[in-house]
Amino acid sequence: MQVVRTPQEIRDLRINTFEGKSVGLVPTMGFLHEGHLSLVKNSREENDITVVSIFVNPIQFGPREDLADYPRDMDRDLLLLEQEGVDLVYAPQPGDMYEGNFSTFVEETSLSKGLCGASRPGHFRGVCTVVLKLFNIVAPDRAYFGLKDYQQYRVICRMARDLNVPVEIKGCPIVREPDGLALSSRNMYLSPRERESALLLSKSIVHARKMVRDGVRSCSQIRAKVLEILGSDPAVSVEYVSLKDACTLEDLQRLDSDGVLAIAARVGKARLIDNTLLEPGKE
Amino acid sequence: MQVVRTPQEIRDLRINTFEGKSVGLVPTMGFLHEGHLSLVKNSREENDITVVSIFVNPIQFGPREDLADYPRDMDRDLLLLEQEGVDLVYAPQPGDMYEGNFSTFVEETSLSKGLCGASRPGHFRGVCTVVLKLFNIVAPDRAYFGLKDYQQYRVICRMARDLNVPVEIKGCPIVREPDGLALSSRNMYLSPRERESALLLSKSIVHARKMVRDGVRSCSQIRAKVLEILGSDPAVSVEYVSLKDACTLEDLQRLDSDGVLAIAARVGKARLIDNTLLEPGKE
């Protein structure tokens, strides 16, 4: 496994070593967990070469967010990726990605406005910008994103389509702890007691899916139940509970087509998100 | 010479016909003149394959600008390009470039703010977005832009650097009529009398260059003289006369480093621009 820091090193590898081989890219901010590793496994199955980027992208954090505290453990990350058979790790420093007078941004202006975009202005602009840079640096055939960040997945699909980026975007299922907690690097902020409270997110999602199986189609009814479950624990501070069209992320009144139930909540210091597709046709 | 309309056709050609060959791209809005053809000639000299795009890009026009009136003559354009030995013309329709729910834009936020950007909000966002799309569709090794649109050239250089686009941006000298008028598709808006007035732009530029040769380094002095020349004809309505650092496009007080003198003015219905590098070290 090679570890490189500059775009030029990757470009040289693309030309000299990867020529004619299919390349999968897994963009990460490091502090890897089984969710990331499932993306790596998918990429390894579908491509000759798997590249993982590790970069805590400063421009996707707001001024009051946890950029400084965001967990990092490069040695452990490299060990895990080596074990997974990754071919190349791209681990730039902020100065490698953003020169002093950096001034160009990529902005998706529709899907990125609601949900997390409402409380995190500039977040998806930062995400789109760094992901497009990574696409241009690595030139992957396929790129892998976790569906836990469902809005991010949709925004990146739209960006790639709109800007004619020649890459196939793959969304991979949420990986959960045995008790249901969706894996996240930010779970490490949780105390044992807060972790108990955080379980309400996945529990409410399980309940919502059951309601759809039982024939409920009213989004306000589902949403009310989820809010009731989350509201049962004062340690859970809800930011949003939204039911949106799974493709356009527009508000949904009734589940006549596929929807996504998306939740964001604070538990202690951690801002957690979780979601599920609600597919009435499949239940 | 092949003419294609969809990104997929170009991608197929890239893979099947252009494989291993160097590709030069000349992005245009059509209604070609000798300025465009000089870009083609440069591309032909430096690349195996030359691709010219012809697309009047709606999103770089403001609501009160001349999108509907912008001159078009596809038959004549294709004839000229065939004569120049162009290999491929990419001529999409607006619907091919912008789907109904198109929502992603590329924005340069520094160099694009002054000069033409001040009076044309959204213009460079539209330019950057379409140029990045063309880069992704054509995947050129080099792309050719006229220095007549000096700010555009600098903005695109910055965009390509910031977003790690693997393309070399080439700026080609302004082509002028024998009497000095810089070639522009918008010159066709000029009546014979207006064309006479429009000559003041290039005349004032010639004068500014002479001042620099004579040792003048004060930008306000040069600017005042240019304004005086342009002001001598009431048919010329000046939008700006600016002296900027040639690289950063920041305001310049003294010509201690390379500057660019940039002019925008309306003559009749036509909005005209012209510029020159002022390089005190070279005079």
pLDDT tens per residue, chain A (283 residues)? 999 999 999 989 988 888 889 999 999 999 999 999 999 999 999 999 999 999 999 999 999 999 999 999 999 999 999 999 999 999 999 999 999 999 999 999 999 999 999 999 999 999 999 999 999 999 999 999 999 999 999 999 999 999 999 999 999 999 999 999 999 999 999 999 999 999 999 999 999 999 999 999 999 999 999 999 999 999 999 999 999 999 999 999 999 999 999 999 999 999 999 999 999 887 6
Evaluate whether B16 touches B59 at the Cβ level (below 8 Å): no
Contact between B105 and A106 using a beta-carbon 8 Å cutoff:
yes
Chain B residues touching A110 at Cβ < 8 A: 101, 103
| CA–CA dist A129, A163 (Å, integer) | 12
pLDDT in tens, A26-38: 999 999 999 999 9
Evaluate whether A102 touches B164 at the Cβ level (below 8 Å): no
Token duo for residue A3 = 């570890």
Tell me what pLDDT residue B95 has.
93
Contact between A104 and B128 using a beta-carbon 8 Å cutoff:
yes
Interface contact B103, partner A, CB < 8 A:
yes
Handedness of CA B233, B234, B235, B241 (dihedral sign): positive
Chain A residues touching B27 at Cβ < 8 A: none
Residues of B with active-site annotation: 36
Question: For A159, which residue in chain B has the nearest alpha carbon?
Answer: B104
Contact between B102 and A162 using a beta-carbon 8 Å cutoff:
yes
Place of tokens 């050129």: B140
Task: Give B143's strand partners.
Answer: B25, B169
Full set of structural domains in chain A with CATH: 2-172 (3.40.50.620), 185-276 (3.30.1300.10)
Place of tokens 């990045």: B132
Contact between A101 and B248 using a beta-carbon 8 Å cutoff:
yes
Interface contact A283, partner B, CB < 8 A:
no
| CA–CA dist B10, B5 (Å, integer) | 8
Interface of A with B in 242-271 (CB under 8 A): 248
Number of continuous H segments (helices) and E segments (strands) in chain B: 9, 10
Question: For A109, which residue in chain B has the nearest alpha carbon?
Answer: B103
Q: What share of chain B is helix, strand, coil (3-state, %, to 5)?
A: 40, 25, 35
Q: Name the 3-class secondary structure at B134.
A: helix
CB pairs < 8 Å spanning A and B: 78
Considering only the beta carbons, identify the residue of B102, B106, B139 that sits closest to A104.
B106
Chain A residues touching B111 at Cβ < 8 A: 103
- CB burial of A184-210 (b: ≥16 within 10 Å; e: otherwise) equals bbbbebbeeebbebbbbbbbbbeebbe
Tell me what pLDDT residue B15 has.
84
Token duo for residue B129 = 């977005």
Evaluate whether B113 touches B250 at the Cβ level (below 8 Å): no
Tell me what pLDDT residue B16 has.
86
Evaluate whether B36 touches B28 at the Cβ level (below 8 Å): yes
Contact between A107 and B104 using a beta-carbon 8 Å cutoff:
yes
**Residue to substitute from A8, A98, A103, interface B, most B β-carbons within 10 A:** A103
Chain B residues touching A161 at Cβ < 8 A: 99
**Residue to substitute from A135, A162, A168, A247, interface B, most B β-carbons within 10 A:** A162
Contact between B107 and A109 using a beta-carbon 8 Å cutoff:
no
Q: What is the DSSP string of chain A?
A: -EEE-SHHHHHHHHHHTSTTS-EEEEEE-SS--HHHHHHHHHHHHH-SEEEEEE---GGGS-TTSSTTTS---HHHHHHHHHHTT-SEEE---HHHHS-TT--EEEEE-STTSSHHHHHSTTHHHHHHHHHHHHHHHH--SEEEEETTSHHHHHHHHHHHHHTT---EEEEEPPPB-TTSPBP-GGGGG--HHHHHHHHHHHHHHHHHHHHHHTT--BHHHHHHHHHHHHHT-TTEEEEEEEEEETTT--B-SB-SS-EEEEEEEEETTEEEEEEEEE-GGG-
DSSP annotation of B93: -
Residues of A with active-site annotation: 36
Evaluate whether A62 touches A123 at the Cβ level (below 8 Å): yes
Tell me what pLDDT residue A283 has.
61
Tell me what pLDDT residue A120 has.
94
Low-confidence residues of chain B: pLDDT under 70: 283
With 0-12 / 13-18 / 19 or more C-beta atoms within 10 angstroms meaning exposed / middle / buried, residue B8 is exposed
B259 CB-near residues (< 8 Å, 6+ apart)? B219, B243, B244, B245, B246, B252, B277, B278, B279
Interface contact B128, partner A, CB < 8 A:
yes
Chain A residues touching B162 at Cβ < 8 A: 99, 102-104, 133
pLDDT in tens, B204-249: 999 999 999 999 999 999 999 999 999 999 999 999 999 999 999 9
Considering only the beta carbons, identify the residue of B105, B110, B165 that sits closest to A109.
B105
**Residue to substitute from A6, A104, A130, interface B, most B β-carbons within 10 A:** A104
Considering only the beta carbons, identify the residue of A110, A158, A166 that sits closest to B11.
A166
Question: For B128, which residue in chain A has the nearest alpha carbon?
Answer: A104
With 0-12 / 13-18 / 19 or more C-beta atoms within 10 angstroms meaning exposed / middle / buried, residue B54 is buried
DSSP annotation of B115: T
